[in-house]
Structure 1
Amino acid sequence: MKLHRNSLLTAAAIVVVLYVVSLVIGLPAWAAVVLSVVLLVLLAVVWKQPEAPKPVVRTVQAAPAPVVLPDPVFSGPPTRTVVDVRLPSASADFQFSFSAIVQWSTVLSGSRHADLGAVAVDALLQRARALSAELQVTEEALNQQHLAAILGEPALDEKGQVRCWATEVRLRLPDADYKHLQHLAALHRLEQTTLIERRMEQDKRAYLKEDVFATPGSAAVWWLANHPGDVENAVGLLDTLAELSAAANDLPVRRTSAEAVEQPKPSRAELEFTAAVDDLLEVEQGEPQRPARGEYREQFYSE
């Protein structure tokens, strides 16, 4: 930082004047020097001026205009949507409802079909139909995942004009068919339960008839096996067990006691033979005659 020439001359003159005045007055020399220094410092503070900056000449180069690139436009493959197309299932009574977005890309150059979208949709539906015909209607979620995985792979149509695939595949049963399937499942479970209960009942009846009540003796043994040690009651129940055995085996004659079982009633021929023998013995011994054989037989059978 620099002072102007006039400022320096003025300061020098003031210092000289002060020095002379201090000598005239009789002040010590060092006092005159200190006073001069103080005065010079004050002058330097008051008259200090900043140095004018030098003009800087800069050469400004024109910046090139920014190049604006257009946003890239990604054109996806053409698409066509199919909704609620009926497809067969493994069951002849039920059909699936199929929906998807069909996408395709052209393959051949030159002559092409007038509606490649229709070609792509037809090719994809043929693939879906062949797959759904082997699917069970009871596995709806698994069927949809299986169909989406296979139809998502691009494949050519029969003439090789387009390569088509599907996204957002939906495969389900219509509401009416789903309710009908649930009703059939409930009936099937009821049928299975009924068959099992019937088979258990048949086994139990066969066991009672063919094993327990096959004879009065097997009935008594069965009762003792379920009541071990209770022999007295078993003896008292022999008649009852015999009747149960006869009823279980559809026997026409009702046996009321064990004695009747062991000693069956004599036949008509046996009675006639016994009566004839008795008559001969009476005649030889001279005993009074008994009633005629006809009267005896009538009396026996009337009883």
Structure 2
Amino acid sequence: MTTGCKTTTVFLTILCGLLLTILGLTQEWPLWAWPTLALLLVAIPAVAFRIATLRRGSMPVDFEEQLTAAPVERREHHISHVALPSLWADYDFLVSATIRWYPLDASADGPLLNPAGLAVEAVLDRARAVTEQREPARASLVQHELCGELSLMRPDRAGRLQAMAENVTLTLHEHDQERLDKLAGVRKDKAVWEHRRTYEQSKREYLGDDVLKDTGSAVVWWLAKNDDHVEKTVADLGLLAALTSAANDTDVPERLRDLLPQPREEQAGHDLWERQNASHERPPTAADHLVDALYALGFPDGDPRRPMIAKQVADVLRTQDQHETADGLLRRFNPPATYTPDGKEPPAPTDRETGTTPEA
């Protein structure tokens, strides 16, 4: 009988005694009945305790074995920051986990062994088979893959135990992670630069091989850009002829020279005089034709857009393997910078200062 049962029996006995006492007082029982009642109240619990003891018998065998059995071996081991190889040389994963196992060979005559060492070896072999095929840049993804791979109990190579791993974490050395972040940034910048270069090359090829291939192609392109405004396109024929000739390093065709735009009236006389004098020294170059085109477009001397336009035309010429002409344009519109005695950069020289002017 348990302690709870004993307490309940005593409580019920006292309660019954009180009830019988109240009943005897109200019914005016004879005096001999009271000793009998007291004897019954004492005898009944004693008999109940005795019967319960006889029914319970001796202590169970399995409970006795539990009391005398040796303490159970703790079958787990924690590993921390164990280096495992990755797909990239010199970039190791760092693995931490709790390894659990249970033995398969429990015979008494078996060899003595360290089950923790065998379990750690078995789990690390399984983990290494995964990590050596993965890139270190995906450490968080590999960690979840390892959690699934090591979550099953599997036997070791000798078949002496089965092992698994819990609480698996996978990291990299701090310096390795910094290097990988820098490499990723460089790759992204390189991809952006290559896209920009491809775009610029495509644009130059489009301008050189299609738009500025000849005056006719330039006229069709200009007509499409101006929403079929024929009058504007006709008015710009001379400009397009000059620009096409500059892009291809050729002279303006004779039939189109009368359409070339005239320079500003206030500079016409002086520019004509300078060009006539220069014509005795050398023939007009591609830079001269580009100067004419820029004057016609309304880009006077000192306009910061002139070097930018010259640079774009030079890039088109380079796609046509006309590097010497392109270099001449850049020298004409981007002369080497010199500095005044006070340390300030002087303004870029005008076409007059370089000795050339647009045709009259």
Summarize deviations over 1:169-227 as a string: whole Å, max 9, x none.
11122332222222222222222222212211211111111111100111112112222
Would you say the 8 A contact 1:238–1:257 is kept in 2? no
- Aligned residue in 2 for 1:98: 95
Report if aligned partners of 1:124, 1:164 keep a CA contact under 8 Å in 2: yes
- The question of whether the paired residues in 2 share the 8 Å contact of 1:135 and 1:143 is answered with yes
Contact persistence 1:88–1:133 (CA under 8 A): yes
Calculate the aligned-residue CA RMSD, in Å.
3.4
Return 5+ residue gaps in structure 1 as ranges. 1-48, 262-299
Does residue 76 of structure 2 align to residue 79 of structure 1? Answer: yes
Checking the alignment, whether the CA contact within 8 Å between 1:96 and 1:173 is kept in structure 2 is yes
Match of 2:10 in 1: none
CA contact (8 A) 1:77 1:105 kept: no
Q: Which amino acid aligns with 2:193?
A: T
Structure 1's 82 and 257: CA in aligned 2 closer, same or farther, altered over 3 A?
same
Q: More helix by proportion, 1 or 2?
A: 2
Cα deviations across residues 59-85 of structure 1 (Å, max 9, x unaligned)?
A: 233543996968889836522221101
The answer to whether the Cα contact below 8 Å between 1:238 and 1:258 also exists between their aligned partners in 2 is no
Give the AA of the match of 1:54: W
Aligned to 1:255: 252
Cα gap change, 1:203/1:136 in structure 2, threshold over 3 Å: closer, same or farther? same
> Is the Cα contact below 8 Å between 2:242 and 2:252 reproduced in 1?
yes
Q: Distance in 2 between matches of 1:301 and 1:122?
A: 89
In percent, how many aligned pairs have the same letter? 29
Q: CA deviation at 1:128?
A: 0.8
Would the alpha carbon gap of residues 228 and 101 (structure 1) be closer, same or farther in structure 2, given more than 3 Å must change? closer
Q: How does 1:51-90 map to 2 (within 5 A)?
A: 52=31, 53-56=33-36, 57-58=39-40, 59=43, 60-61=46-47, 62-63=49-50, 64=53, 75=72, 77-90=74-87
Asked if the contact 1:239–1:258 (Cα under 8 Å) also holds between the matched residues in 2, the reply is no
Structure-2 residue corresponding to 1:193: 192
Measured in 2, the distance between the counterparts of 1:190 and 1:301 equals 50
1:235 positional shift: 3.4
Counterpart of 1:35?
none
Q: Which residue of 2 aligns with 1:245?
A: 244
Instruction: Kindly indicate whether residue 149 of structure 2 is the aligned counterpart of residue 169 of structure 1.
Output: no
**Hey, which bits of structure 1, 4+ residues long, moved more than 4 A?**
65-74, 300-303
On the 8 A contact 2:75/2:101 being kept in 1, the answer is yes
In structure 2, the gaps of 5 or more residues are: 1-27, 259-279, 284-360
1:125 aligns with 2:124: yes
Q: Quote the offset at 1:232 in angstroms.
A: 4.1
TM-score, normalising length: structure 2:
0.51
Question: Which amino acid is the alignment partner of residue 82 of structure 2?
Answer: V
Q: May I ask how many residue pairs the two structures share in their alignment? A: 216
Listed one character per residue, the Cα deviations across residues 33-55 of structure 1 (whole Å, up to 9, x for unaligned) are: xxxxxxxxxxxxxxxx8854531
Name the larger-Rg structure: 1
Code of the aligned partner of 1:55: P
Distance 1:211 1:131, change over 3 A: same
